[in-house]
Structure 1
Amino acid sequence: MLRVLPLSLFWVKIKVLDIGKFYQGKMKYRQSLFWDTKPENIDKEKHKRYIIERVLEFGRDREVRDVVREFSVKEIRKVVNLPRSLTPKTKNLWIHILKK
């Protein structure tokens, strides 16, 4: 019997990269996630780096799924690889999750 722990990187990788096929709905933002601006003022195209950074660093599961659904893995990987975009621990986690 194979047991997959919900916090294992394998489970996270499968869920994050495949979620776009199954998830439908509108991307919503919490005020606490974007504490320095109003969520309704955020434009998906203009502020994509800002959205990706905040959600990967501070977001909940649903918000991470929304970001993966809204933006390509290539765009997310680009933000993760920026020098000062994420804390070292978060950056390391996302580098492992987004490996080819």
Structure 2
Amino acid sequence: MSANECMEQFSPHLFWDVRKEDIDLDAHAQYVIQRVLEYGLLGDWNLIKSYYGLPKIVETAKGLRSLEPRALAYIAAISKTPKEQFRCYTWKQLNPQPWNS
């Protein structure tokens, strides 16, 4: 599947704030993967899984500074990777907030 075909099949709500034509799936992989993990539907997940492959998605997610707790739990469970290996988990543990917001 080509990058253009893949971009056309994503849910419209994922990239509501940018022009889809300007997104390069290879150059903006971190942005696309984070959006799909946090806001995507099952079909969107299947698209990035077929385009990038699970190992690339996991490696990219490990480097993300922030990721919603549900998305972190999902990618950790799917890949059987401990949460402690993800940057967003360790960064949050090292920088506690004075209260939950």
Tell me the TM-score normalised to structure 1 length.
0.66
Q: Which structure 1 segments of 5+ residues have no match?
A: 1-23
1:8-87 alignment to 2 at 5 Å?
26-27=5-6, 28-87=9-68
The sequence identity of aligned pairs, in percent, is 29
Q: What is the root-mean-square deviation in Å for CA atoms of aligned residues?
A: 2.0
Q: Greater relative contact order: 1 or 2 (C-alpha under 8 angstroms, separation 6 or more)?
A: 1
Distance change in 2, residues 1:84/1:64 (3 Å): same
Q: Take 1:66 and 1:83, find their aligned partners in 2: how far apart are those partners?
A: 20
How far did residue 85 of structure 1 move?
3.6
- Report the number of matched residues: 77
Distance change in 2, residues 1:43/1:72 (3 Å): same
Higher helix share: 2
User: Could you report, residue by residue, the CA deviation over 1:25-45 in whole angstroms, capped at 9, with x for unpaired residues?
Assistant: 831233321122111211111
Q: Tell me which stretches of 4 or more aligned residues in structure 1 moved more than 6 Å.
A: none
How far did residue 59 of structure 1 move?
0.7
Q: Which structure 2 segments of 5+ residues have no match?
A: 82-101
